[in-house]
Amino acid sequence: MAEKRESIHGQWSSRWAFILAATGSAVGLGNIWKFPYITGENGGGAFVAVYLICILLIGIPIMMAEVMLGRRGRRSPINAMRHLASEEGASPHWKYLGWAGVIAGFLILSYYSVIAGWALAYIFRAASGSFVGVGAEGIGTMFGHFIGDPEALIAWHTLFMVMTMVVVARGVRGGLEAAVRFLMPGLFILLIVMVGYALNTGHFNEGLAFLFTPNFDKLTGNGLLIAMGHAFFTLSLGMGAIMVYGSYLPSKASITKTVVIIAAADTLVALLAGMAIFPIVFAYGLEPGSGPGLIFQTLPIAFGQMPGGVLFGTFFFILLLFAAWSSSISLVEPAVAWLIENHGMTRKSAAIWCGVITWFVGLGTVFSFNYLSGEEFRLFGKTFFDLLDFLTSNVMLPLGGLLIAVFSAWIMRPEDAREEMRMGYPKAFALWHFLVRYVTPIGVSVVFLRAIGAI
Ligand code: PFF
């Protein structure tokens, strides 16, 4: 019986503990750093509309599937997939889905840590009053100098990686649960304060119109793929992070309610970030499509001008750091759980191994903003960082999600899925099953084919 199964790594203390941890994983740099800049690069409204549709029709059903598989497997994603496949009479090769997730997690963490390092550095800039009275141009120059200095970036990247591995070594459940409980609401409140500031820029409506007025002529096939990829990235889907968290979920908890709460919180944070940033972009005549530096070039202008800006700015970057921290630990948890299960490693040595490897890969991202930023070091016009981001968010995660959908709805016996889902209403199960069986796989495939110009 599935109920009797227990993860050797323990369980969350309650459903709420899982919600906090999974929201901690979902809400991160993806919402506050990435969502605004890719929205800016892809023309705004239509991109946001596709992203929201993907969250609803693809993201939520796949998140439910991942939690369900994790809870039924009660092991790291690699072992859970192997075990569930044998239980369902399918090929043991399904374990490679777990492997692909582990690799995606390493690759994402390698650059995630570098960008989280930027947030870390900006805490000190904000606190020391570096933004006070500095205009848009000065803030831009400051950022340019910062990313042009590889040694500084490496130092911050190292610090963040160490912070991540310390928490992973102590066990995800003990480490950040308490912090997330207070910091998530704090982040939320600060974003509302920033939206309040944006209301007074005189360009709030322009910002809103940019975000919410869809103009589908502006959306390319590639933009469509980026919007879908971001739905996976922002909800931490397609690589086993949510699956491994699901494996620690108590058997009785309702998967549907839990997942809807997480997805709603995540989406709200992203939209608030957009509403805080774009009015500033337009008020200061900045370029919405200016890339990964967007929040570091916009919000500091606001912090430099508003009353109490030193305090707000410092808090903002501290909260951003925590949001990134609670996401980064989930990126290596599938690998760490597997190393413990299959290689008898202690949590601590598993964390050190993972940290060292990802730290090295991260150097490629550090150099993408300085030594290797020139045209001669680009492939298809993309830097190492751009390529890594594209490969993980737009290829690996959606493919992983597609296979998770295929496994849950085509390989797994519906009665097994139904038993694990424990939904009160038969119609709700039927709807979920229909979505993962048809809508998700077809949706993801269509977006892939459109992006390569095949349709
Ligand atoms: N969801 C995180 C964010 O939006 O910042 C990033 C992430 C974490 C992606 C964990 C994937 C993952 F497994």
CB atoms under 10 Å from CB of 272, counted, come to: 20
Ligand 1 site residues (CB inside 6 A) read 25-26, 28-31, 105, 108, 233-234, 236, 239, 241, 327, 330-331
Average pLDDT over residues 371-380: 96
Contact yes or no for 235/63 (Cβ under 8 A): yes
pLDDT at position 22 is 93
Burial 206-228 (b: 16+ CB within 10 A, else e): ebbebbeebeeeebebebbbbbb
For residue 242, the ligand 1 atom closest to its alpha carbon is 13
Q: Model confidence over 320-348: pLDDT tens digits?
A: 999 999 999 999 999 999 999 999 999 99
pLDDT tens digits, one per residue of 226-258: 999 999 999 999 999 999 999 989 888 889 999
Q: Helix, strand, coil proportions of the chain in percent (round to 5)?
A: 80, 0, 20
The answer to whether 258 and 67 are in contact (CB under 8 A) is yes
Domain ranges of the chain: 2-451
Residue 89 Cα to ligand 1 middle (Å): 32
Q: Are 249 and 414 in contact (CB under 8 A)?
A: no
pLDDT at 7 over 70: yes
What is the overall mean pLDDT for the chain? Answer: 94
**Nearest protein Cα to ligand 1, atom 7:** 236
- Percent of the chain whose predicted confidence (pLDDT) is above 70: 97
Structure tokens at 385: 């960082």
The average pLDDT across 254-267 equals 95
Kindly state the tokens that stand for 344.
Answer: 């008898």
Cα dihedral across residues 160, 166, 172, 177: positive or negative: negative
How far is 73 from 417, CA to CA, in rounded Å?
12
Query: What pLDDT score was predicted for residue 186?
Result: 87
- Expressed in angstroms and rounded, the spacing between residue 130 Cα and the centre of ligand 1 is 30
Extract the tokens encoding 269.
């944070």
Mutation test residue for ligand 1: of 114, 168, 331, the one with most atoms within 8 Å of CB? 331
Task: Name which residue sits closest to atom 13 of ligand 1, judged by CA.
Answer: 236
**Confidence (pLDDT) at 1:** 43
Amino acid occupying residue 80: A
**Coil, strand, or helix at residue 132?**
coil
Which residues 6+ apart lie within 8 Å of 101 measured at CB?
77, 78, 238, 239, 240, 241, 243, 334, 400
pLDDT class of 179 with cuts at 50, 70, 90? low
CA 454, chain centre distance (Å)? 29
For residue 443, what are its two tokens? 């949706």
Ligand 1: which residue has its CA nearest to atom 10?
Answer: 236
Query: Ligand 1 centroid to 296 CA: how many Å?
Result: 20
Tell me how far CA of residue 163 lies from CA of 158, 187, 406, in angstroms: 9, 20, 36
First to last CA, the chain: 46
The amino acid occupying position 326 is S
Question: What was the pLDDT predicted at 184?
Answer: 82
190 within 8 A of 315, measured Cβ to Cβ? yes
- The Cα–Cα gap between 379 and 387 comes to 8
Query: DSSP assignment of 375-441, as one string?
Result: GGG-BTTB-HHHHHHIIIIIIIHHHHHHHHHHIIIIIS-HHHHHHHH--S-HHHHHHHHHIIIIIHH
pLDDT digits (tens, 9 = 90+) for 72-89: 999 999 999 999 999 999
CA separation for the pair 169, 164 (Å, rounded): 9
194-206 pLDDT, tens per residue? 999 999 999 999 9
Domain 2-451, second-level architecture: Orthogonal Bundle (1.10)
Percent residues over pLDDT 90 in the chain: 87
Which pLDDT score is estimated for 4? Answer: 58
CA of 24 to the centre of ligand 1 (A): 9
Rounded Cα gap, residues 48 and 56, in angstroms: 12
pLDDT at 2: 44
**Which tens digit of pLDDT belongs to each residue from 131-154?**
999 999 999 999 999 999 999 999
Between 175 and 177, name the one with better pLDDT.
Answer: 177
Burial environment of residue 107 by CB neighbours within 10 A (0 to 12, 13 to 18, 19 or more):
buried
Distance 22 CA to ligand 1 centre (A): 10
The tokens describing 159, both together, are: 């610090």
The rounded Å distance from CA 33 to ligand 1 centre is 12
- In degrees and rounded to multiples of 5, residue 88 shows phi and psi of -95, 5
Confidence of residue 38 (pLDDT cuts 50, 70, 90): very high
| Rg (the chain; Cα; Å) | 21
CB 318 within 8 A of CB 122: no
Question: How far is residue 341's CA from residue 76's CA, in Å, rounded to a whole number?
Answer: 8
